[in-house]
Amino acid sequence: MDFNRTHTLKEISQILHCQFIGNENFPIKGINEIHVVREGDIVFVDHPKYYDKALNSAATVVLINKMVDCPEGKALLISDDPFRDFNKLTIHFNPFIASKNSISSTATIGENSIIQPNVFIGNNVKIGSNCVIHPNVSIYDNSVIGNNVTIHANTVLGADAFYYKKRPSGFDKLISGGRVVIEDNVDIGASCTIDKGVTGDTTIQEGTKIDNQVHVGHDTIIGKKCLIASQTGIAGCVIIEDEVTIWGQVGTNSGITIGKGAIILGQTGVTKSIAGGKTYFGTPIAESREKLKEMAAIKLFLKDRKIL
C-alpha cells in the first residue's frame, strides 16, 4: 500500500509513538506484507522465527518487537506490538470512509457499461467500458475492473482478508488496506466472493472465467485464461499461473503456486505447490493417473482379504 507522499522515519515514529533506529529523515513510501514488500516499504514482524526474513527482505524499514542490529541501509521501528501498530498505519493512511450513495460520486464507469439495479459501487472504484454488473453485486472501495467484464448477481468484490492474530482475549483482525483488480475480458459468476489484499492487490488477470460460488482469498493472483468451476475455495496468497483449469469443489492451502496449464480435477485438496502441464486429483494431491492406480491397488488389496 503506497502512501500519498513520501514520509520520514521520524514522522512514522510519531504516528506510532515508538522508538526508531536510523536517520530520522529516512524516506518511507508505503507499507506491505513480506510477500509483496518493496524498497521504501515498512514490513512488520512479531515472531523470532521470521526476524531474519523480514530484516533481509526488500523492505527498507522493519517494524519489530525487539531491539536488534539494524542492517546497513535500513531502519527499524521498535514496537511492543508490531501487529497493532501495522493496523494503526493502515487506518491512518487508508481510513474507512462510509458511503452515502449506492454508487459513489468518486467512482468512474466507462462507456457502454451496464449497472443493474441494487448494485453497490464504493469510493474510488474504476470500471471500464462494455461491462455488465448484475443486480446486488457489491464492489468495495478502490476496486479496479477492466473492460468487457461481466459480474453476476450477489457477487462481492473487496471484502476483508481472513487474517487474525490469536490473543488471550480472542482474535485481533489484521486490517485490510489493499484492492481487488479485475483485468479485461473476465467473467465472474453469481455469489462469488473475492477478498481484497491486506496491503497489495488480489488480481484476476485477462480472460479468466470463474463459475458461481467461488471464493478467492486475499492477495491471490489468478493468471490469464484460467477456468475455475463452482464451489472452489482458493486461500490467500496463492499464485495460479496462466491457463490453469480447476474443477468443482477444489480447495487450496495458502501461499502455494499452481503451475501454468495444470488441470485439477473435482474435490481435490491442493495441499502444496504443483508443477504446470499435468493433471491432478485427490487429497493429498497427486498426478491423477498415479492417484487412480493407487486407489485401484488399495481396492484390490481389500478384496483379496475379503474386507470389501
Question: Radius of gyration of the chain from Cα atoms?
Answer: 22
Q: Is the separation of the CB atoms in 64 and 79 below 8 Å? A: yes
Reduced to 3 states (helix: H, G, I; strand: E, B; else coil), residue 148 is: coil
Selected catalytic residue, list 7, 134, 215, 218: 218
Q: Of 267, 261, 262, 233, which Cα lies nearest the Cα of 247?
A: 267
Is residue 218 part of the annotated active site? The answer reads yes
C-alpha 59/C-alpha 51 separation (Å) is 12
Q: What is the dihedral of CA 51, 57, 61, 66, to 10 degrees?
A: 10
Reduced to 3 states (helix: H, G, I; strand: E, B; else coil), residue 52 is: helix
Question: How distant is the alpha carbon of residue 45 from its chain centre?
Answer: 19
Distances (CA, A) of 248 to 5, 116, 153, 232: 44, 28, 20, 6
The catalytic residue positions are: 218
